[in-house]
Amino acid sequence: MLMTFEQARHHRFDGWGVDDAYEELLSLGAKADLLSRAWLLNHYGQVVWKLACYVRTWPDYFISSTPEPSTWFCQAKVLDQLAYRYEREVNRAERPALRKIVEGDESAAKHMVLVIASISKVEQTSGEEVSTALKNPWKVLVSDGWYSIPAVLDPCLIRAVEGGKLKVGSKVHVCRAKLSGAESGVAILELAGAGSESTTVSIVLQANSTRLARWDTKLGFQRAPLIWIKRLRSIVPEGGLVPGLDVVVLRKYPVLYLETLEDGVTKIKRTAKEESRAVEAHLDKIQQRYQDMVREVEKEFASEMDAEGRSSSRVQEEIMARAQDIQTESAARNVIPLFSIRVGNYRHGGNCDDDDMDENGRIQEALITFWHDEYSHYQEGHRIRMTALMSKKLSREYGFEDVIQLAGTRMTTVQEMPTEPDTMLLTSYRPRTVVPCAEVGGLSLGTEMDLVLVILAVGESAIHSNKAYFIATDATRRLLLVEHQLSSLLAEDGNRLLPSFLKVQNRILMANSRFRMRDHKLDLEIVSSTLSYTQVTTAPSLSSGSGVNGGAGWPSYALASLQRLNVMVSEPDKGVQGDDGHGRETFSELMDRANAILRELHPSL
């Protein structure tokens, strides 16, 4: 039985149609002043289409041949359904989901299930209509079983329609939708789906907030307030707002501070230490201006100073007035904290399967950025639930090409959730460990890692370059070339300001660095260190009395590596025997070789 949604309202059962249903409802007790023909036409179409779908899908159940032939697709069933709806909606004043939303009494962002009632190709004509048709080539109507409304789809949902994943009869979970064209509320029966010519009202659907529902899911508002995304792989960059995520924090990155200068264009990104120094410099500048002003006022009003150098009340008033001007002119700095975490799926049972993998066979992860530091206290290995995250375009940043990019919004909430040890073993979370330099070459390109290093040689940065290069090693004596991204801060000579840790023989913990490539000619691995994600911690000087075991402020997982490194640095001329029985280079010899490599590389740097 082929019955489209558009045909349903005009269907007649042996001549019995909408007008006949109107008269019979009145005879059953419906009041003429409450039973409008627009209301009846809408519900007649909804009921006829629903019954036709029932009979077509399950003919063995809804069409009976014994003891007497009967079918649900008949005028009696239609009349029963219409009487039921009149009782619910008119007598009891119980309004369905779409009616509440369109009339402005409920938010379209609430979780509901809708069914796709019709899909048709938009006819391209001319002018603005051609542009609209190119953006939205399909006219889609969705229904809550009681009323229907046009739906505007994003590019991802349009592809789903064209690929046959979304079709007439598909039920979809919808969350965080938007109502367009009826911000102040309009009568539901004024919509085109109810027989009017108006098509200005529509519901805007986005892929990340839309999910296929089971065929037997009840239409309308749902008890669960949100759609919880259980697989990061199902998030699409152009899919808009992500309603809810249940994830594990794999890595948290250092808080950065982004300052916008007075010109409104120039932006400077600083680490926490650099921001602390910037705050002090800003306060010192204001203090210096105040002191210069006081001296200037005292010089101007020198004649009003008494013999003991005390100023008059007029001088004090002038100082207070100018101090107020300084305070007004020294506007507060426009600084925004920037904080990022990398998260993975929290599995609710089962093993890691293809649903957790991206197109390259890697476990799918997401990088979430917050424009504040409110959530920086959440620790790695903790399970959190987040709501209202905005998807972003895929990053081209090295090491994050295949990672989903999300950003917090003003509506975002974060809640820590309990974890189960067995379930945590199924996630991609792994506690931090130090990777020995000798094992870096065996990792996949782009792998993120923590290294404990001693700096052997520092190369000269090219003029105006945003990168500094240095060679370092650890107790394995395998050399690494580190490419460190510099901040936009400038030194007095006009070049980029080098970080304070960048000194020969400094021992550092370089967390969140990445394996970039291997140089076969020089036989060493190249590691990248970025300002946004890499956190560098410097160990106390061995001459400070801390000894080889000194590691104040270091995480426990890195202390053993630091102690081995301290022993090597404290005995620079002592060699060790390798696993092959041959002697290994001393620390002094490693420094000489590192400097020779940098001299060879300097022209290209």
pLDDT-wise least confident of 157-166, 197-206, 563-572: 197-206
> What is the pLDDT, as a whole number, of residue 206?
95
Record the pTM.
Answer: 0.83
Fold of 247-254+336-424: OB fold (Dihydrolipoamide Acetyltransferase, E2P) (2.40.50)
Confidence of residue 459 (pLDDT cuts 50, 70, 90): confident
Specify burial of residue 389 (Cβ count, 10 A radius: 0-12, 13-18, 19+): buried
Give first-to-last CA distance, the chain, whole Å.
Answer: 74
Q: Hey, what are 95's tokens?
A: 């309004």
3-class DSSP assignment, residue 225: coil
195 pLDDT above the threshold of 70? no
Please say whether the beta carbons of 391 and 235 come within 8 A: yes
Residue pLDDT, tens place only, 294-340:
888 877 777 666 555 555 677 777 888 888 877 776 667 889 999 99
Q: Hey, what are 304's tokens?
A: 């009003």
Mean pLDDT of the chain: 85
Q: Hey, what are 43's tokens?
A: 């519900």
> What is the pLDDT, as a whole number, of residue 418?
92
> What is the rounded CA–CA span in Å between residue 558 and residue 548?
14
347 pLDDT above the threshold of 70? yes
By C-alpha distance, which of 218, 143, 210 is closest to 177? 210
- State mean pLDDT over 249-265: 89
Q: Hey, what are 3's tokens?
A: 């019955």
> What is the pLDDT, as a whole number, of residue 262?
79
> What is the pLDDT, as a whole number, of residue 409?
92
219 pLDDT above the threshold of 80? yes
Confidence of residue 605 (pLDDT cuts 50, 70, 90): very low
> What is the pLDDT, as a whole number, of residue 546?
53
Other CB atoms within 10 Å distance of the CB of residue 120: 12
Q: Where are the domains of the chain?
A: 5-91, 97-227, 247-254+336-424, 276-325, 437-601
Residue pLDDT, tens place only, 261-295:
878 888 888 888 888 888 888 888 888 888 888 88
Fold of 97-227: OB fold (Dihydrolipoamide Acetyltransferase, E2P) (2.40.50)
12 pLDDT above the threshold of 50? yes
Residue pLDDT, tens place only, 406-423:
999 999 999 999 988 888
- State mean pLDDT over 428-444: 94
> What is the pLDDT, as a whole number, of residue 464?
58
| Same CATH fold assignment for domains 97-227 and 437-601 | yes
Please say whether the beta carbons of 43 and 146 come within 8 A: yes
Q: Hey, what are 426's tokens?
A: 């199924």
Residue pLDDT, tens place only, 507-520:
999 999 999 999 98
Say what percent of the chain tops pLDDT 70.
84
> What is the pLDDT, as a whole number, of residue 127?
55
3-class DSSP assignment, residue 130: helix
Dihedral over alpha carbons 312, 313, 317, 319 (to 10 degrees): 30
Higher pLDDT, 396 or 195: 396
In CATH, which of 3.40.350.10, 2.40.50.140, 2.60.120.10, 1.10.287.130 is domain 437-601? Answer: 2.40.50.140
> What is the pLDDT, as a whole number, of residue 229?
85
Higher pLDDT, 294 or 97: 97
